[in-house]
Structure 1
Amino acid sequence: MRTIDLRGQTLTPADMLAAVPRATQARAEALATAARIVDDVRSGGEAALRDQAERFDRVTGHAIRVPREHLDEAAASVDPAVRAALETAIGRVRRASEAQVPAPRTTEIGTGARITQRWQPISRAGVYIPGGKAPLASSVVMNVVPAQVAGVRSIALASPPQAGHDGRVHPTILAAAALLGIDEVYAIGGAGAIGALAYGVAQLGLDPVDVVTGPGNNYVASAKRAVAGVVGTDSEAGATEILIVADADADPRLVAADLISQAEHDEQASAVLVTDAPQLAERVAAEVAAQAAVTRHVERVATALSGPQSAIVLVDDSAMAEAFSNAYAPEHLELHLSDAVAAVERFTSAGAVFVGDQTPVSLGDYMAGSNHVLPTGGQARYAPGLGAYTFLRPQQVIEYDNAALAQVRAGVVALAEAEHLPGHGEAVEARFIGPGDGEQVR
């Protein structure tokens, strides 16, 4: 990993972002490609999906709509330890997601005038589960459970067909879907899956969904942008990111392990350490080199850690570290600080914050109970991670009686006239004028 020394400089947020650039060129190229793939699916339906499966997944002749028996077989054959872990994760994520559903609330504006704020679930959700470099069975839990908690009645799941499994969706992904009662599953990968969920594929009996969610690479994230406005989407959860803020008391071995844990996802993954302790930086660099050399995905990790999106950043003090983190707005933020619990309030922009050196990102990926589908690319400045609220629509229900309407009658008419929209005022006046000669009835 390269080291960037920002000490002794007065930097704006833009300067800090420029120091560790994200892979914007890769994202730009992915957007153009993803848009073409989505358009092909929209116009070509099943034929386009089969062509994409042959090109990208090296699969032909497979069942795109997954038969029920494939789900049953996967559930029956999954490793018992994996099944137990999935069941535990389901319970934990369900508990955390239930806290995200607001209760209806009625506000009495005045006598006879009330507004009720309620949260309605969408009718149909589409979730995408990656299965390329890593078959993310845990993402089935993270996407499906919040939708179920929100009250979504129809859920379709898409995941890539696997050449190593005779064109089937990865069996662990199928097992997780079966455990959650999902029986509408499609063997479709990448940007094409996002297009299929958004526009539907009549030949497969796949109806369009209302919201598409799920993590993936830059092509999946870009495909979500291509279908925005057609369906709702969660944040563009592209290649993973971890930013660790650490002080001199941090354990370099743990910091290095956590950086590597996210770098193994993808060659475009971002792994960043920010510290005001030069000796820690040196020790982490040495630990990263040693641990990365013996990890299973050594080449993938080496590519991610040597890319421009990964770095060790030296800053003057804790205030500068906080400023850098808040400007960068990482998907995952770890605080390896002696005062981590007290410091967390000062870190305002992150998809999820992991407090203390015993709370690694990999805990959140599986068993913490939090959701691991999180905004990347700086979107944590304004976008949340996936939750039950992703599948809910806030709705206002307004109820006035005639006496309450009379209280604001003059105000509505005055504003309507000021805006040159007299029909607005007349619609209110009609409630107080009889149908005959204009006689007031109230």
Structure 2
Amino acid sequence: MTLTIPTIDCSVQDPVKALAELRRKLSPQGDIVSEAGRQRTIALFGEPLAPRQVVQRICADVRERGLAAVLEYTAKLDHQRLTLDTMRVSAAELKAAHESCDHEFLSTIRRIRENIVEFQSQILHGDVQLIRLQGSGRVELRQRYLPLKRIGICVPGGAAAYPSTVLMTAVPAQTAGVKEIVVVVPPTEFGGYNKSLLATCAEIGITEIYRIGGAQAVAAMAYGVEGLPRVDKIVGPGNLFVALAKQHVYGEVDIDSIAGPSEVVLLADDSAMPRYVAADLISQAEHSPGSAILITWHAPLIDAVRTELTQQLSQLPRGDLARTSLNEYGAIVLVRDANQAAQLADLLAPEHLHISTRVPEDLLKTIQNAGAIFMGHQTPVAVGDYFAGPSHVLPTGGTARFANGLCANDFLKRSSVISYNHAALQDAADDIRRLAAVEGLTAHSSSVDVRLDNP
């Protein structure tokens, strides 16, 4: 397959229009499905439903029939006939996976966990207290943070194993103080039967793991089924059906985001190394689908990067998959200058933004929208995906305009705590009465007056 990643020259093309089409292809709108997926849907439901309709059917069925529906969809979609006992990974299986795991791998897991805990602990919210002397009275105001009691994590397991997802979701939750953490993972060789993934769970103390995936796993965690009590929040990545299922159950539980395929926007000047740039684009494209966009104002870089892409893709095991993603969801954009590059990057609001320039801090000052930002030539996205400490669960599809990456604070529930004494209430009474009168809520005034009339 030939590399045909398109080049967009902003002097003759509208980059906003061209890149909007890429966004549309990768967005979780639920109206695009492959022919193979269409045939599976017909076989399962007897009609060619859109993915969103499939998710609605599955979630409604799980809500009504519980575990029986979960096991039925697991048999039909994942071709695994499980029972209540085999659905959950046993303590013996976890122990065996941990004991047989490579010691160097476990050492790596421990080092990454330490990095995550160190960073997440530094940003973790703590209780706030304000004492206000109001007239002759005293007011005490507090913001109290408590961890959620029970959370669920979706871990992919279709085409590859993802111990990193366990780390980047569970460890922030543990840092926040969450006691009950549920992991759901498809019943595949890369998922619920993968020893490295199970050993990672065991190493960090996750013991509640279920071999279920897709929309049925999301519904099971949201509604609760026999053997799997409901959770308070669902986090973690997944395919289109997982994303749509999370959207569907939001309100029954909280969710982190409605995540789409991985993406990177790379800003590069004349100091960027073509082989580095190519490697960084491929590293996200190999997720397949994955979007990788280079924006540069140094025209000679474009041909050099194309040459490197062709060479590197031919040498990588997932090169064909990455090449397909680059052709379908990638772009190389030639802009006028660094300012136009920053404006375009801000408009795209990517999951990963890599500033590969001589002085990256200069561009950083002009950019607001990105899930995670990687600075300079020696900071590939892989260090964020695997090692640095911030979570790699990030907003995609332009949602970084308003959404944030997952962190320990997302597993906290906050409450305000307010305490007035009699003198403070008396001092505030006229303002409360005045606002209550404007809104016509006289009982609000009365609740104050009854206390002041009868101290």
User: Is 1:386 equivalent to 2:406 in the alignment?
Assistant: yes
Tell whether the 8 Å contact from 1:243 to 1:333 is kept in structure 2 after alignment: yes
Alignment of 1:221-370 (within 5 A): 221-266=243-288, 268-307=289-328, 309-370=329-390
Alignment of 1:128-207 (within 5 A): 128-162=154-188, 164=189, 168-202=192-226, 205-207=227-229
Cα distance in 1 for residues equivalent to 2:244 and 2:307: 36
Give the secondary structure class of the aligned counterpart of 2:295.
strand
Taking structure 1 as the reference length, the TM-score comes to 0.92
Tell whether the 8 Å contact from 2:274 to 2:305 is kept in structure 1 after alignment: yes
User: Is 1:23 equivalent to 2:46 in the alignment?
Assistant: no
> CA 1:194–1:174 in 2, change beyond 3 Å: closer, same or farther?
same
Which deviations, in whole Å up to 9, do the C-alpha atoms of 1:247-303 show, x marking residues without a partner? 12211101111111111112x211111111121011111211221122111332122
1:420 maps to 440
Shift of 1:95: 0.6
1:375 to 395, 402, 409: 395
Shift of 1:217: 2.0
Between the aligned residues of both structures, percent identity stands at 38
1:431 maps to 451
Shift of 1:183: 1.0
Cα distance in 1 for residues equivalent to 2:414 and 2:303: 50
> CA 1:226–1:134 in 2, change beyond 3 Å: closer, same or farther?
same
1:438 maps to none
Shift of 1:122: 1.0
> CA 1:114–1:134 in 2, change beyond 3 Å: closer, same or farther?
same
Cα distance in 2 for residues equivalent to 1:32 and 1:326: 33
Alignment of 1:64-83 (within 5 A): 64-83=87-106
Tell whether the 8 Å contact from 2:353 to 2:372 is kept in structure 1 after alignment: yes
CA-atom RMSD in angstroms: 1.9
Shift of 1:378: 0.8
Tell whether the 8 Å contact from 1:161 to 1:188 is kept in structure 2 after alignment: yes
* Structure 2: runs of 5+ lacking an equivalent: 32-50
Shift of 1:243: 0.9
- Matched AA of 1:295: L
- Matched AA of 1:327: L
Cα distance in 2 for residues equivalent to 1:56 and 1:259: 33
Cα distance in 1 for residues equivalent to 2:377 and 2:73: 43
Cα distance in 2 for residues equivalent to 1:263 and 1:333: 14
User: Is 1:409 equivalent to 2:429 in the alignment?
Assistant: yes
User: Is 1:127 equivalent to 2:153 in the alignment?
Assistant: yes
Which deviations, in whole Å up to 9, do the C-alpha atoms of 1:191-225 show, x marking residues without a partner? 221111111112xx211111100112222222111
- Matched AA of 1:21: R
- Matched AA of 2:107: A
Cα distance in 2 for residues equivalent to 1:218 and 1:25: 9
Tell whether the 8 Å contact from 1:74 to 1:175 is kept in structure 2 after alignment: yes
Tell whether the 8 Å contact from 2:338 to 2:363 is kept in structure 1 after alignment: no
Alignment of 1:40-79 (within 5 A): 40-61=61-82, 63-79=86-102
Which deviations, in whole Å up to 9, do the C-alpha atoms of 1:52-105 show, x marking residues without a partner? 223332222361111111111111111222111111111101111101212221
Cα distance in 2 for residues equivalent to 1:258 and 1:152: 35
> CA 1:343–1:215 in 2, change beyond 3 Å: closer, same or farther?
same
**Further displaced range: 230-239 or 395-404:** 230-239
Give the secondary structure class of the aligned counterpart of 1:116.
strand
> CA 1:19–1:137 in 2, change beyond 3 Å: closer, same or farther?
same
